[in-house]
């Protein structure tokens, strides 16, 4: 059966670590960097569980700073 596979690219320097994408993701893909910060001192978002992403764009829709690019395809 064809299965949706997704991936996101976070603009790490634009991200403010607000956590809203982490909360919005239905598949538990995202997390905030626990230690690493960007140039402005924010713990930016990243794919902690990349294999779980379905490319639904929920994270990108709620992101207040438009930091997230979403990619989606089907695996046959």
Partner 1 sequence: MEINDIIKPENCVYKKPTLLNDTNMHYCPGCSHGVVHKLIAEILEEKGWGDKAIGVSPVGCAVFAYKYVDIDWVEAAHGRAPALATAIKRLQPDKLVFTYQGDGDLAAIGTGETIHAANRGENIAIIFINNAIYGMTGGQMAPTTLLGMKTATTPYGRRVDLNGYPLAISELVAHLDGSCYVTRQSVHTPAAVRKAKAAIIHAFENSMAGKGTSLVEIVSTCNAGWKMTPAQANDWMVEHMFKKYPIGDLKNE
How far is Cα of residue 64 from the mean position of the Cα atoms in its chain? 13
Nearer to partner 1, 35 or 75 (CB): 75
Closest CA to 65 of 7, 20, 8: 20
How far is Cα of residue 28 from the mean position of the Cα atoms in its chain? 10
Which of 18, 20, 27, 31: binder of ligand SF4 (CB under 6 A)? 27
Q: How many Cβ atoms are within 10 Å of 25's Cβ, its own excluded?
A: 23
Among ligand SF4, partner 1, none, the one that 33 touches (CB under a kind-dependent 5 to 8 A) is none
Contact between 10 and ligand SF4 per CB under 6 A: no
Binders in 6-35 for partner 1, by CB under 8 A:
6-7, 9, 11, 14, 16-20, 23-24
């Amino acid at each position: 059966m064809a299965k949706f596979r997704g991936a996101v690219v976070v603009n790490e320097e634009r991200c403010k670590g607000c956590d809203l994408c982490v909360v919005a993701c239905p598949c538990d893909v995202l997390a905030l960097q626990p230690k690493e910060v960007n140039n402005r001192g924010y713990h930016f978002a990243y794919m902690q569980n990349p294999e779980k992403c379905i490319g639904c764009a929920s994270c990108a829709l709620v992101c207040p700073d438009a930091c997230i690019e979403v990619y989606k395809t089907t695996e046959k």
